[in-house]
Amino acid sequence: MILVTGGAGFIGSNFVLDWLSLSDEAVINLDKLTYAGNLENLSSLQGDARHVFVHGDLGDRTLVERLLLQHRPRAVLHFAAESHVDRSIHGPEDFIQTNIVGTFRLLEAVRTYWNDLAESEKSSFRFLHVSTDEVYGTLAADEPAFAESHAFQPNSPYAASKAASDHLVRAWHHTYGLPVLTTNCSNNYGPYHFPEKLIPLMIINALAGKPLPVYGDGMQVRDWLYVKDHCSAIRRVLEAGRSGQTYNIGGWNEKPNLEIVHRVCELLDELRPKPDSSSYKTQITHVQDRPGHDRRYAIDARKIERELGWKPAETFESGIRKTVQWYLDNAGWVQHVQSGAYREWVAKQYEGR
């Protein structure tokens, strides 16, 4: 079996669902269930003995050590993280505690467990750390995409906390021999995405008749990766990645934010037209840019294709259509995640900008 941290969040829950749809290998799912962790994402697994959910904090070393000894996983996949740049600007301490201190405590618990394994189990064990392209900083329009050798230059508290966690994982490999793998992905989108991020926020606000807030001129460029492609890449890295190596995972879809918002509006115009036949684009509103907003990210994903034979299955057009349709088909899920705390956050983030 495998142990997953953060398996009730956006990427983690998609991974768990995909894993159990393709394999009978059990998953121990440890999640703290902060605002973005949602057990409803995993409702289809209710009663499935292959999925063991544990409500707890990855920073609780006693709990993690007990789970490791009880379940004897062959791998630990570390998804759990505070991941929203805007939240890190307003309150960086949670990011330091979860992404840095939490990762440190998890590594120490795993190292203790790994040291006591039989030699055959030690050699096959893996600790896979899921990270972000934001550790690399920002790119000018004419600069080459981020390769795995690119220097770390994080520009937000979130990115800095993830860069620190990447360094810890690397150090535990080189100092202690822990067999680790690190993946740095581009912007994910798809089902179960908490609606503080760009694409789900635009879909939900559009349907509610609310403004569609676009930072600055909207020409910040990101590489977009459909979440299920990301999950397949992680499975492939776990299966065949070389211990100690980093693999960048991208969708080969560099697009400015404003183009993304326009495409979401066009799909909603087609799939859920307004009664007056006007376009959802009329709701777009440009707001003050956030502090230190990186201008461009781009992932060079040639290493994972060259070494492991992985490349994304979805184009942006196919992925974004599936995503918009999912939100239209899952209004109940959307309603449930829009708690009072979420509404307060959106008001705090965008009012007065």
Indicate which residues carry an active-site annotation: 133-134, 158
d(CA 229, CA 352): 37
Main-chain dihedrals φ then ψ at residue 243, nearest 5 degrees: -55, 135
Rounded Cα–Cα distance for residues 119 and 125 (Å): 10
As given in the structure block, the two tokens for residue 248 are 């960048």
CB 146 within 8 A of CB 248: yes
Residue 295 tokens, joined: 């201008």
C-alpha Rg value of the chain to the nearest Å: 20
| Neighbour order of strands in the sheet with 187-189 | 187-189, 221-226, 254-256
